[in-house]
A and B are shown apart, each in its own frame.
Chain A
Amino acid sequence: MEPRIVLFEDHLLDDMAPVTLTRPAFVVTCACYTLYEIMTQSPLPAAVHWIVRDFLAKTTAQRCPQVPIEPGSMLFFLNASVIPDVRYADRVRQLWEKGAPFVATTGRRVSAALVPAGSTMPERLTAENVTPWLLEMKLPLMEEELFRTFDHQYEVIKYLEPLFAGNMAHRIRTGGYREVAPGVFAQENVTLADSAVFRTKDGPVILERDVEVADFAYVVGPVHVGARTRIIERASLKENVCIGETCKIGGEVEASIIESFTNKQHHGFLGHSWVGSWVNLGAGTSNSDLKNTYGEVRLEYPHRRVETGMQFLGCVIGDFAKSAINTSIFTGKIIGVSSMLYGFIGSNVPSFCNYARSFGQITECPVDQAVLIQKRMFARRSILQTPEDVLLLRDVFELTRSERLISDEPPAL
């Protein structure tokens, strides 16, 4: 019997903002996979049900098919924040086939549990009540941490390199690619300019269908490029780069993740960063990923700082954010959803902000304006803006209202 997996979000996602403000944790891309993909594809594939925060349910339903839960049946609960490591597919299958009930924790959260058949379940499982329910069943507690999880948004970047080789090898093995050049694996209808250069000594390059690589592009593997994405002229993609579908990528990109429908068309450096969907980085936008002191990068959170343990760490940019020309983002900054950036970005930026701090201007970006921009961007990609898309933006606007209190701070550089 195929495993029945419940991917569940929990109540510990605050430190993952803005990455999980607009998407469930199980569709965060890292090292060319999302957890949802791993659980629904070979070698599992499992029948997946998901539990997400209420405001994400409708948009998640649009992109992640699921099967209903059969109450009283044996179920494998897997935390949506578990990192997308292809090796976990085998681990899940083994635990499922063993059939021994357990609950496993990782750090502060429940990472997985095998709930035996006949267990009584709450009438409605939610992101809030699923973890307490799993723990109160007093299933045997696993001694070791079976699954690692993303606990902070910067860890999406941290896990990129350790996961990349294994995940890429798995994708090549199972994806039906053609090796169009040494170490370059392509799906159908891929266009490669003759002058494009691929260096694959330290890792392969995977190009999904309809990818176009323009003249003088320089690609150093491992790199994964999603379907319909264009790598424009003179672009430089260097090691551990993971790009989603329908993007336009130019300039210099290193060790970064770019989610689908994002444009970084012009010159400028993006390094050790995660960039959400529907982001547009203006010409000359660059980020720093190394402190002048060469020291460890620390991230600012409300009321505390977190040591990342990383010497190279760029920025995290939420969905729908835009940067003006020559925007400069300092090391280790977090940019919220639907914010507009101008000039020097020396501090974290809340969601829905017009952020021109170096010019003395920080104002709230009205949600109606964000909705209008979304509609225009979707239209350019022939995507119909749905009421659910609009509602999500409005919900996130409300959820992040308190972040914008920092707009009262005096501008400083």
Chain B
Amino acid sequence: MCGIFGYAGPEARPEVLIEGIKRLEYRGYDSWGLCLASENHLSLLRRVGRIGGVDGSALAFGRDGSARSGIAHTRWATHGAPTEANAHPHVDCAGRIALIHNGIIENHAALRATLESKGHRFTSDTDTEVIPHLIEEILKSESDFPSAFLAAVKLLVGAYGIAAVWAGTPDTVYVARHGSPIVLGVGRTSTLVASDPAPLVAHTRDVIYLDDGEAAILRPDGFETRTLEGAPVSKQVHQVAFSLPDIERGGYPHFMLKEIAEQPESIRNAMRGRIVRSEGTAKLGGVGEELLRKVRRCHIVACGTSWNAGMVGKYLLENLARIPTQVTYAAEFRYAHPVLEPDTLVIAISQSGETADTLAGVREARLIGAETIGICNVVGSTIARECGKGIYIHAGPEIGVASTKAFTSQLVVLSLLAVHMGRMRGMSLRAGILFLDALERLPEQAAQILREKDKVAAIARAYAPCRDFLFVGRLYEYPTALEGALKLKEISYVHAEGIQAAEMKHGPIALIETSVPTVVLAAQTEIRDKMLGNMHEILARSGKVIAVGQEGDEELARLANDTIFIPKTLDPLIPILSVIPLQLLAYYVAVERGCDVDKPRNLAKSVTVE
């Protein structure tokens, strides 16, 4: 998983390219590099480490003003360690072709062997390096570079978003896509390419989403889009909705904290314009009414935090709409030969809309003949487009690797979907109205929780030295427990487990000791007494309890070592509120432990590889 950025225009300078990949750093950040193309000359710079550490020599690089285009890359290693040699761009033997790549070339070993047998010399361990050498080889028999570029790309098996420059046409960037996202930016005097729109908005708001099997040739004064076979393709220009300040940190020390704090707004945005109180239902324009009416089963496919959201979705769909719902890890779904009954709706959840396993799950489901809808944040993302139908969560750019606002927005959208399908299936008008009214109160309730963040920070500081945490919950709070544990693991490198509370006695309770705190989620009214029983069991074994309960639950506060209150809401909506203190807890524990919150080790934002 990597970020790519390319620029063709009068300001082909290192700082422009570096600024571009900085906005993609959340996609990977173990090494980076750039290449400037001048007349018959390529200037290459590669570094190990974060882009934030750009030194003066790098900025001085290529400042003679002769460059007409450039490409830059921020890397998350898949093949080969994060070294300077493995950093992109990669070049051919003659050093006239430089290329950056996001994805995995599955047949790279065979191609490499063939190319080596023809005398090509490789200098890296990457799969990517085969591509410039392949183009170089084909150029021996092809008269023009675009044809050689397309011919080479067609030989690749796997996933790729590619941008290349050639010393022979220094004002041109060559782009191709299959399986990895590519967005083009159309400026007045420049044309750009990136893995997503974030680095483009500093230059233009007019973007074009390239589809799989498509290529583009970018010049300062325009662009051409083609199929990989070379046939011209007409593409629609979209307007990017968010502005540059949206993707800045906005005064917060970390993107994660900023995004946690944005949740009152992102929750509101997820439901904006979708609540039809006069009918006690939701309006979801991206999903066909007839499709939802005929659905008899749902199958949610997702990974990571989105999977946890899917678990909440299962309870929502089953309780509100009485639709049997199954949740499967996308990677399992893909290879498990899933059995999908007729009228099963596959719901793919992915913040980025590019998650490789989830995308593969969508393709598998469509192959079987199931209807699919996507729940994504990134408009025009691959999953959103391949599903054809879906609901955007409108959370805005999420830069922090640990997903926060996307999770709560996914839950809002799943709630709207559940109430809509419920109203189609006999849910009463009154129940629908009560649910929607409670949903509309969530933004203010989330803000109320955030006003108490200092209290959570104090709790986090007290427990930060602990090496192990347990999170326990039932029903809607069970996926919340999973999500709370995942957040803590992701950013603070503390071992944490999310456990269905009743399962404690079947094993995990053996872990309880003074140094292993348990976060007990006890805000649901339906099973609150059961959770109190769990608390007693933990306390009786000298375990420490951090309880999350509904405001006013004094008995809970008396029992627990520490208590975080959330405002009262309906049980199905509790995860949207109760996860917020867990996000804050994870954040403050990570800060206390000196972890890099926004760029946790070994992780990257958008997992576009299997």
Contact (A141, B279) CB under 8 Å given A105-B428, A107-B428, A108-B428? no
Contact indicator A141/B428 (Cβ below 8 Å): no
Cα–Cα distance between A123 and B489 once the two chains are bound (Å)? 59
Contact indicator B434/A136 (Cβ below 8 Å): no
CB-contact partner of A107 in B277, B429, B433, B434, under 8 A: B429
Is B6 at the interface (CB under 8 A from chain A)?
no
Contact indicator A141/B433 (Cβ below 8 Å): yes
Is B337 at the interface (CB under 8 A from chain A)?
no
- Residue on A with the closest CB to B430? A105
Interface of chain A, helix or strand or loop or mixed? Answer: mixed
Within 8 A of B (CB), among A351-388: none
CB distance from B609 to the nearest CB of A (A): 44
Contact indicator A135/B280 (Cβ below 8 Å): yes
Contact indicator B429/A108 (Cβ below 8 Å): yes
Is B40 at the interface (CB under 8 A from chain A)?
no
Q: List chain A residues, Cβ under 8 A from B434.
A: 141
Contact indicator A141/B430 (Cβ below 8 Å): yes
Tally chain B residues at the interface, Cβ within 8 Å. 10
Cα–Cα distance between A105 and B430 once the two chains are bound (Å)? 6
Is A132 at the interface (CB under 8 A from chain B)?
yes
CB distance from B108 to the nearest CB of A (A): 53
Q: Mark A120-146, 1 if CB is under 8 A from B, else 0.
A: 000000000001110110100100010
Q: Chain A CB within 10 Å — which of B279, B280, B423, B430 has the most?
A: B430
Interface of chain B, helix or strand or loop or mixed? Answer: helix
Is B278 at the interface (CB under 8 A from chain A)?
yes
Contact indicator B278/A135 (Cβ below 8 Å): yes
Q: List chain B residues, Cβ under 8 A from A108.
A: 423, 428-429
Within 8 A of A (CB), among B384-436: 423, 428-430, 433-434
Contact indicator A110/B429 (Cβ below 8 Å): yes
Contact indicator A105/B278 (Cβ below 8 Å): no
Q: List chain B residues, Cβ under 8 A from A141.
A: 430, 433-434
Cα–Cα distance between A145 and B279 once the two chains are bound (Å)? 17
- Residue on A with the closest CB to B433? A141
- Residue on B with the closest CB to A143? B430
- Residue on A with the closest CB to B290? A303
Is A109 at the interface (CB under 8 A from chain B)?
yes
Q: Chain A CB within 10 Å — which of B277, B429, B434 has the most?
A: B429
- Residue on B with the closest CB to A107? B428
CB distance from B80 to the nearest CB of A (A): 58
Contact indicator A135/B428 (Cβ below 8 Å): no
Within 8 A of A (CB), among B414-472: 423, 428-430, 433-434
Within 8 A of A (CB), among B152-188: none
Q: List chain B residues, Cβ under 8 A from A109.
A: 429
Q: Mark A87-119, 1 if CB is under 8 A from B, else 0.
A: 000000000000000000111111000000000
Contact indicator A135/B430 (Cβ below 8 Å): no
Cα–Cα distance between A110 and B278 once the two chains are bound (Å)? 10
Q: List chain B residues, Cβ under 8 A from A136.
A: 277-278
Cα–Cα distance between A107 and B428 once the two chains are bound (Å)? 4
Q: List chain A residues, Cβ under 8 A from B280.
A: 105, 135
Contact indicator B278/A132 (Cβ below 8 Å): yes
Cα–Cα distance between A138 and B278 once the two chains are bound (Å)? 9
A-side interface residues toward B, CB under 8 Å?
Answer: 105-110, 131-133, 135-136, 138, 141, 145
B-side interface residues toward A, CB under 8 Å?
Answer: 277-280, 423, 428-430, 433-434
Q: List 20 A-B contacts (CB under 8 A).
A: A105-B280, A105-B429, A105-B430, A106-B428, A107-B429, A108-B423, A108-B428, A108-B429, A131-B278, A132-B278, A132-B279, A135-B277, A135-B279, A136-B277, A136-B278, A138-B277, A141-B430, A141-B433, A141-B434, A145-B430
In addition to A105-B428, A108-B428, A141-B430, 16 A-B residue pairs with Cβ atoms within 8 Å of each other are: A105-B280, A105-B430, A105-B433, A107-B429, A108-B423, A108-B429, A110-B429, A132-B278, A132-B279, A135-B277, A135-B278, A135-B280, A135-B433, A138-B277, A141-B433, A141-B434
